[in-house]
Amino acid sequence: MQITLVILKPSAVQRGILGEVTTRFEKKGIQIVGMKMVRLDDKILAEHYAHLLNKPFYGRIKDSMQASPVVVMALKGIDVVNAVRKLAGVTNGREAQPGTIRGDYSMSVQENIVHAADSPEAAATELKRFFSEGEIFDYTSHLTPYFYANDEL
């Protein structure tokens, strides 16, 4: 099974929809194995968005991501990186399909509710960035057999 990172952005925190968004993952059958609320400082944002540091819109991203604390989550499941990205929808909320998190809750390319790692490699890097050893838990969910066929596990 894979583990991926999701950040519930300030747009989710400020709008009071953390529970609704988290429930979407749980109802899909994705297991939460780590979760905490944090404030993102300049250093961690520069590291996380290193590929965008020289873009003219980086300041807008930084301001947005520091508007309030965020919730970082470690999510586990089979092909979970892909499953989470499909649940999240495309980056621009105006273009995201209804039924996706962004399609249902966002009208913005920036204030788009969630960040989701885009590959297993990125997920591994991002999980190390936001979680310390011992903050991601390995436990058996007794509902797993109801989300996966026995030959998928």
Catalytic residues: 115
Cα 40 to Cα 66: distance, rounded to the nearest angstrom? 6
Integer angstrom CA distances of residue 68 from 11, 40, 41, 56, 62: 9, 9, 11, 22, 11
Structure tokens at 26: 């749980």
Among 78, 81, 75, CA closest to 151: 78
Cα 153 to Cα 76: distance, rounded to the nearest angstrom? 13
Q: Which H or E element spans position 80?
A: helix 80-88
